[in-house]
Structure 1
Amino acid sequence: MAKVASTPEIDALVAANAVVAIGVSGGKDSQAAALATMRHLDRMWHTGPRVLIHADLGVVEWNDSYPTCQRLADHLGLDLITVQRKAGGLMERWESRWRSSVTRYQELSTVTLVPCWSTPAMRFCTSETKTHPITSELRRRFKGQQIINVTGVRRAESRGRAKATVASPDRHESFWNWRPIVEWSVEDVFSCIDASGLTPHPAYREFGMSRVSCRFCIMSNLADLSAATAQPEAHDLYRRMVDLEADSSFAFQGSRWLGDLAPHLLSNDARARLDAAKARAAARVSAEQRITPGMLYVKGWPTRMLTDDEADLLAEVRAEISGLFGFRSDCLSRESIHERYADLMSRKEARHAR
């Protein structure tokens, strides 16, 4: 059996019987992390509270994700805490983000349209629907106590996680993040699960997927996305996500349109809407490329007033994009854009003066 990685800081917290909360998603890595951590804690004579905690992402979850977590909890004799983002699941977050993007564009609170989907570089899907609900619930439930937050992160998973540490302090003073199987291989993970007598999520061995998170994940490769479309339980979500691609003109994975993976699952109208969205996307990109780098949105925007020529260009682009999408946008002239920028800069100065 592969070894559990630890640090002196984690060992000290375990010896002090700190709370150990193990995040579980239904995926293989969190399942193996829970099994390995429990054995390790037993060997260390840990007698503090131990719980499993699962973030329910709503309709994007596989049907068997929660049951897999519950079977694991029953096997380990632990309570399973379930949390969810108060404003809804991840699909609702993507849809509300698009509505917000439209509003912000129409009122000129952003220079270009903002994509609705999370991305590898902007994973609000993790921070808003997993990390925040989990840490908030643990801080509420174990107020004033030291908490070790266990995750199944492994360095072999991706280049992004190759530099993951064994443990690190969280921004919350009472939290430490522990990655006990960070050095494990995928073979180690499945061996651990099989040795326990449990079975991994069916998506691995029945659906043929290499990773399990959302049914359609921004990090999934083409093979996993295709395998997901073959599962009847994913078809309603697939159509809903393609509808959002069509509404927004943003492909789910950068240049990869989810709607292209299984067009046979879509109605004739849905396929026509997707084709129109692709044409609209090309026109949107072409229009936005005319905006010069110094005019684009940056933190603290707006940082300066635009020149007359820049205001004319922005007005032209905004009118073009608004026509493409049928927006009722404000600030479609040089004068109104100057006025909007002046108002925004005045408000910013007032905030800084407080």
Structure 2
Amino acid sequence: MTDDVEKLISTNAPVAIGVSGGKDSQAAALATLRHLDAVGHTGPRILIHADLGSVEWDDSLRICEELSDYLNCELVVVRRRAGDLMDRWERRWFLSKSRYETLSSVTLIPCWSTPSMRFCTSELKTHVIMAELKRRFKGQKILNVIGVRRDESAARARMSIADPDPAAQVWTWRPIIERTTDEVFDMIDSSGLQPHPAYRIHGMTRVSCRFCIMSSIADLTAASAVEESHDIYRRMVQLEIDSSFAFQGARWLGDIAPHLLTVEMRGDHWLAKSRAARRVEIEKHITKPMLYVKGWPTRMLTDEEANILCDVRNRVTELYGFKSDRLTVDSIHQRYADLLDEKAQKEAA
């Protein structure tokens, strides 16, 4: 608790509790609603779930619905209109390929989200949830509750109990930030509810996507052993094959459960790993000044740099079977000149 949160509760501000089906959001909802009842809060309360689509565990929505019934609190389900997380990853690869072919990027861009670039959370959870809260509680200060705990990671250990987003008129509150994992499970068990079966039946340590960019090898292996995960596993491995980018940096999802793949997919996956190693070796010749910054070149290339980029683009294009243009030194110089001119015009405007 903080003074700011206490003040918002005393003014009966709307309270929205993010629930994923995981243990921490269950515990956060239980603790928050218990406290709101104890202090006489009479403002609006909702549970809000961002559905990630095909990558999500089948039981996640059911767990949220059971929590909603138990707490007698409305459950609001939101989704990204442009498709689910798997669609986003696949679309990102399509765009990466297209941008490379037209020299709108100097190197191929990975399709997967990463621990430092978690658009899976920002675009498919935070953005859609905040949009719904601002629409539903227009003009009001909103208390947004999330089940984050300090012992989950070094980054979360540094988080505050609550912090504001003045532009959005939203305060984010982390009421169970000091709780341990054992305390979280005790809260759920004592309520009479059941935690997500992925924990105690499937042996997972965390529940988000079936296969998460943050998952350990043990969690990836446990998820692959569950039949409901097999179709999305093969779809994700197919994207590894198409893009030649490993799901977790240097860790390939296709290596976790190769027995779930067809003979053809296993062969294609081996070729994708070989292609990735060759691409990395080829792109080592590109220097930092040759790269774009925020989508734009910083200067014209020298003839030597253009020759290097020309060689790299031809080799990568052949490696992937792309339909690239700008494969000559002159055309590369022209592309940089066009982009620098376009950038200058935008800045002037």
Asked whether the two chains share a fold, i.e. TM above 0.5, the reply is yes
Q: Which runs of 5+ in 1 are unaligned?
A: 1-5
AA aligned opposite 2:265 = A
Alignment partner of 1:213 out of 208, 217, 223:
208
Contact kept, 8 Å, 2:134 with 2:168, in 1: the verdict is no
Alignment partner of 2:148 out of 133, 149, 153:
153
Alignment partner of 1:314 out of 297, 309, 314:
309
Of all paired residues, the percent bearing the same amino acid is 62
1:23-102 correspondence runs (5 A): 23-102=18-97
Q: SS in structure 1 opposite 2:163?
A: strand
Alignment partner of 2:233 out of 216, 230, 238:
238
AA aligned opposite 1:231 = V
Name the counterpart of 1:265. Answer: 260
AA aligned opposite 2:20 = S
Contact kept, 8 Å, 2:149 with 2:156, in 1: the verdict is yes
TM-aligned CA deviation for residue 298 of structure 1: 2.3
Contact kept, 8 Å, 2:291 with 2:297, in 1: the verdict is no
Name the counterpart of 1:118. Answer: 113
Contact kept, 8 Å, 2:292 with 2:298, in 1: the verdict is no
1:100-179 correspondence runs (5 A): 100-179=95-174
Q: Deviations over 1:245-304 (max 9, x none)?
A: 000000000111000011110000100110110110011000111111221232362110
AA aligned opposite 2:268 = R
Name the counterpart of 1:3. Answer: none
Compute the TM-score of the two structures, normalised by the length of structure 1.
0.98
Q: SS in structure 2 opposite 1:54?
A: strand
The structure 1 segments of at least 4 consecutive aligned residues displaced by more than 4 Å after TM superposition are none
Q: SS in structure 2 opposite 1:169?
A: strand
Cα RMSD for the two superposed structures: 0.8
Q: SS in structure 2 opposite 1:160?
A: helix
Name the counterpart of 2:274. Answer: 279
Q: SS in structure 2 opposite 1:52?
A: strand
TM-aligned CA deviation for residue 44 of structure 1: 1.5
Q: CA–CA distance in 1 between the matches of 2:177 and 2:290?
A: 43
Name the counterpart of 1:302. Answer: 297
TM-aligned CA deviation for residue 171 of structure 1: 4.9
Compute the TM-score of the two structures, normalised by the length of structure 2.
0.99
Name the counterpart of 1:184. Answer: 179
AA aligned opposite 2:316 = I
Name the counterpart of 2:337. Answer: 342
